[in-house]
Structure 1
Amino acid sequence: MTEHEDTKPDPVALKILELLEAGGPDHTVSPDDVARAFAETRRKKSDPPDVWRRYMNAVRQQAIHLARAGRIVILRRGEPQDPHAPIKGLIRLGLPQD
């Protein structure tokens, strides 16, 4: 990081990339998988079992941000989606195919 950069990478975005890179080029993950994995890194004893749900919006926002930057693809029914258009329904996240 240069001295002019004052922003750190978003931890949710890092978790998305970590899970995808660990799985290999054809691996995909659901936003739920990412939210659950991220929640586990921050879980407190007092948290309810479904604490991961509070991270779902952040996961979707970061997925769109990463897709717009070309770092991941958002898939719906196996087809890449335009990250600049509204995306509804069940999606999966994957690495771009070269």
Structure 2
Amino acid sequence: MDDVDARLQQMIEGLLDQRRPDASICPSEAARAVDPDGWRDLMPAARAAAGRLAAAGEVEVTQGGAVVDVTVAQGPVRVRRPQ
């Protein structure tokens, strides 16, 4: 895992820590915080960071309110603490 990947994971966790326990974030929020100008290029890495955190049990990735596997989910996803 390189520095950007680690920063994205830390940012996802940090953003969730700042929210209500039942709130979610979009991976793009973490990408924007890490690189405000190049965030779009970071989206695959942000989704991968969410996937690693989900695999570790730290977060859940959802789509339409249902927990999904981010590696196969297409379209927008949200990230939340496990419910």
Give TM-score, length-normalised by structure 1: 0.73
Partner secondary structure for residue 8 of structure 2 = helix
C-alpha deviation, 1:24, in angstroms: 2.1
2:59 maps to which residue? Answer: 72
**Shift >3 Å, 4+ stretches:** none
Per-residue CA deviations over 1:6-62 (Å, capped at 9, x if unaligned) read: xx881110000000111021111111111111114xxxxxxxx4x211211110111
* Alignment partners' CA distance in 1, 2:68 and 2:54: 9
Higher helix share: 2
Query: Matched residues, percent identical?
Result: 31
Unaligned runs of 5+ in 2: none
Partner secondary structure for residue 18 of structure 2 = helix
1:60 maps to which residue? Answer: 47
C-alpha RMSD over aligned residues: 2.1
**1:11-30 aligned within 5 A:** 11-30=7-26
- Rg larger for: 1
